[in-house]
Structure formats: structure tokens, C-alpha cells
Amino acid sequence: MVVETRDNIVIRLLLFGLLLFGSWYAYEEYIDKENSQSFLKTVKTEIDTMIESPEFKNTIEELAGGISDLAEGLEERLKDFSQNEQQTVPSDVEKPDLETPTEQTFSIHNIEVGDSKEEVEEVLGTAKRSSFNEYDIEWHAYHENYQNFVMVAYDENNTAAALYTNQDLLSSTKNITFKSDKQAVRNQLGEPITKIRKGLTYYQFQENSDYDVFFIDHNYVTVFYDKHENNTVTAIQIISEALEQSKRSFYTDGSESLKIGFEYQLFDLTNAARVQHGLNILTWDEAVKETARKHSKDMAENNYFDHTNLEGQSPFDRMKEDNIRYIAAGENLAAGQFSSIFAHEGLMNSLGHRKNILHDDFEFLGVGVAFNENAQPYYTENFFAK
């Protein structure tokens, strides 16, 4: 996680102004006391020499450039302030009354795995976005300005085969809610599974992770925990056994559709998390998405993982090279997670990355994804405000 602002430019301008003011005040006091014409001549000569020096001219040009950029940014912010506020601050949306599931252990927004698409959309309305996922089907994202955020994936029979939320929309027959901590979840559900079999191969889950996987009701239930909130439940994903077994390995070949799907899913997950924490909604930025994509592609092709690329460029160098103007910016990176859900939940449990996701001042986000030769994804998030 890296962040840059233009506070340093403002500080330098203030210091420069104070220096000039303080210097002139000292000269003025001395002149009043000494009434010396020779002193005035000396001061004038020294000032003329300083003004004519290349160092002084370079400093003035640099400060002028900083003032120009800052003024332009402030002008744009003032011009668009009202419009941006209306577009990005979510209105209050009533939370649904959650009922105890009738067919399964868990439901999300009163939706259970096995419900028909027609039944789901009677409750949730029309999806705001549909995007390709790692199961070769689509996540359909339902929400109202990212409040009451739910993703549902349907099988070939238009039946809900996967559910996800990172908002407090969970109900269960085991009294597990978003207020439950890891130990309470395990007390109710038992010990999580440590591996999953696909064909003749066992895939081992990462040890000491911030999530547990349980096999319940012929579903794989992944419960994510927020280690910055006392390991309470922060999200849940439910995948039917049939859908999970249809994916033959942990990683799915990195198609163009999957790349785009992962990018938009990570964007939506970020906004849903921000709304959950009472923050404004970020706007998708196509230009900075390209900046993010290029860095993910560079890391994937050249087998490295770093904010600084092999040419020594920082995220801010890359953004400036692509003519992205900003007054504050940040970058998050993730690699190896087999979906945007796991990438997002991992980033939220990393304090520095979490600060970018929940940064008050950011207004725009672009996400870029690329896959290496082993189909492992690299994720880059570029945040900024202007």
C-alpha cells in the first residue's frame, strides 16, 4: 500500500512565504534603526543576484507548477462538488427484515442456495451488474447504491448456486450473525475443513488464514473474519457442491472475460465495504484502470510483486505518465488469490490496504487484473482524488 498527497507542496509554499516575509521584516527593522543607504544597496545587490541564479529560477518554476496544478485541482473540485456529492454519497436504504432460513443453515437477504432466479429477483429486484467469475458463470450484483449488497450466481437451470455478501444481511439456524466471532462460529459449526478434493487431487487451504471453510448442506460455506474488528464475521460466500466440483482446480484459465469480471467485482466489493463503513461511493475511472492493468500485466509477465516496477517507477510516476491528475492517490496490490472476493477480504485484513479502501478523501478507483502463465491473477487497485 502506498499513498501520496500534495500536502508537501502546500507546506513548501507556506514556508517559502514565511521565509520571505520574515526576511523583509528583518531588513525593514534594520533599515529603520541604521538609516543606511549603503545597506539598502547591499541588500538590493544580494536580492538581484539571488533572483538571477538558476537555482532560484528553478525553484520558482517548480513552485509555480505546483500552484498551477493545485489551483486547477481545486477549481475542478469546486465546480463538481455538488454533483459529486449527489452521485457518491448513498442515501439511506432500509435494511430488510431477516428471517430464519427454512431449507438451509444460512440465508443472505432471505435468499438461499437453491432458490430460483425468479424468486431471488422478486426479493432483490434487477441486478445492477453481471460479470464473469471463476466458476465459468456470472456473479449478478444486487444493491441500492451499494447498500443491501448481495451477489448471486445461477446455474444452467437459473437456480441460485452461489451467494455472497459483505454486509450485515446474514441469518442462520445456528444464530450466527455479523456480530459473531471466529470462536463462536466454530462452536456452532465445528472445526473447518482443511482441504477439498477435486477429482483425484486434494487442494489444501492456507493455514492461519482469516477465513474458515465448512461443508454444510452440500455447500461449501466460507466465513471471512475481520481481524481489525475482533475477528467478527465480515463476509460470507456459499457455493453449492455441484458448482464447486465443476471447477477442476483452484485457478481458472485467465480469459478476457474473467479479467474484466474480476476487475468489476473488486470495484463493487470495495464500494460495498465503504458503504458498510459509512463512506462515499467511489466512481469507476477508465483511464486509471488502464494504468492498473499495465502494472498487473508487467508483474504477471515478469514474475515480481512490488509497487515499484522494474524501471524504478512508483505508482505515482505511472499515473503521471498516463496523465492522471490527482491531489491524493494510493495503490493496493494483491496476487495469488483465486477470486476477487478472496483478494478483497485479504486486503481488508491488511491495515495499510484497508486504509486505502476506507480512505475518506478518495473519489475514483480503477482496477486492473492480469494472469501469469499458471493462471494466477495479479490485482492492482489505483485510487485517487482530484
Domain of 163, CATH number, reads 3.40.33.10
Residues 147 and 234 in one domain: yes
What is the pLDDT averaged over residues 7-20? 44
Q: Is residue 177 part of a domain?
A: yes
- Which of 189, 213, 248 is the last residue in one of the domains? 248
Q: Which long-range contacts (CB under 8 A, 24 or more apart) does 227-233 make?
A: 227/349, 228/348, 228/349, 228/351, 228/354, 230/181, 231/181, 231/182, 231/183, 232/178, 232/179, 232/180, 232/181, 233/170, 233/176, 233/177, 233/178, 233/179, 233/180, 233/181, 233/185
Q: Give 2's pLDDT tier (boundaries 50, 70, 90).
A: confident
Q: pLDDT-derived band of residue 63, with 50, 70 and 90 as boundaries?
A: low
Rg of the chain over all Cα atoms, to the nearest angstrom = 27
Q: Cell 481458472 belongs to which residue? A: 252
Domain-embedded: residue 226:
yes
How far is the C-alpha of 162 from the C-alpha of 244, rounded, in Å?
9
My answer on whether 9 and 80 are in the same domain is: yes
Same domain, 140 and 224: yes
Cα 243 from Cα 122, distance rounded (Å): 24
What pLDDT is attached to residue 203? 85
Burial class of residue 303, CB neighbours in 10 A (0-12, 13-18, 19+): exposed
Q: Are residues 64 and 191 in the same domain?
A: no
Q: How confident is the model at residue 29 (pLDDT cuts 50, 70, 90)?
A: very low
Same structural domain for residues 24 and 140? Answer: no
**Burial level of 214, CB count in 10 A (0-12/13-18/19+)?**
buried
Number of domains in the chain: 3
Query: Taking 50 as the threshold, does the pLDDT of residue 177 lie above it?
Result: yes
**In this predicted model, what pLDDT tens digit does every residue of 352-386 receive, in sequence order?**
999 999 999 999 999 999 999 999 999 999 999 99
| Cα distance between residue 49 and residue 249, in whole Å | 72
CA 242 to the chain's CA centroid: 31
Split at pLDDT 50, 70, 90, the class of 57 is low
Q: Is residue 72 domain-resident?
A: yes
Same domain, 112 and 26: no
Residue 76 lies in a domain: yes
My answer on whether 68 and 151 are in the same domain is no
Domain that holds residue 12: 5-85
The answer to whether residues 217 and 147 belong to one domain is yes
Give yes or no: residues 29 and 56 share one domain. Answer: yes
Residue 58, pLDDT > 70, answer no
Query: Sign of torsion, CA 37 41 46 47?
Result: positive
Question: Looking at the domain assignment, is residue 181 inside a domain?
Answer: yes
Residues 160 and 108 sit within 8 Å (Cβ to Cβ): no
Residue 97 lies in a domain: no
Q: Final residue of a domain: which of 201, 228, 248?
A: 248
Last residue of a domain, one of 248, 268, 300: 248
What mean pLDDT comes out for the span 227-245? 97
Give domain status of residue 91, yes or no.
Answer: no
- Is the Cβ–Cβ distance between 155 and 137 less than 8 Å? yes
Co-location of 373 and 278 in the same domain: yes
Encode 326-341: b = buried (16+ Cβ within 10 Å), e = exposed. bbbbbbbbbbbbbbbb
Q: Is residue 259 predicted with pLDDT exceeding 70? A: yes
Which residue has better confidence, 19 or 248?
248
| Domain match, 110 and 243 both | yes
Task: Please provide the average confidence, as pLDDT, over all residues in the chain.
Answer: 85
Parallel, antiparallel or unpaired: strands 283-284 and 364-371: parallel
Confidence of residue 170 (pLDDT cuts 50, 70, 90): very high
Mean pLDDT of 219-241: 98
Provide the whole-model pTM.
Answer: 0.79
pLDDT digits (tens, 9 = 90+) for 264-278: 999 999 999 999 999
What 3-state DSSP class applies to 320? helix
Q: What is the pLDDT of residues 307-333, one digit of tens each?
A: 999 999 999 999 999 999 999 999 999
- Are residues 110 and 80 part of one domain? no
Is 244 a domain residue?
A: yes
**Of 218, 215, 222, nearest to 240 (Cα)?**
218
Q: Is the pLDDT of residue 4 over 80?
A: no
- By CB atoms closer than 10 A (0-12, 13-18, 19+), residue 13 is middle
Number of Cβ atoms within 10 Å of the Cβ of 357: 25
**Do the bridges between strand 138-144 and strand 147-154 make them parallel or antiparallel, or are there none, so unpaired?**
antiparallel
pLDDT grade, residue 3 (50/70/90)?
Answer: confident
Q: What per-residue confidence (pLDDT) applies to 80?
A: 44
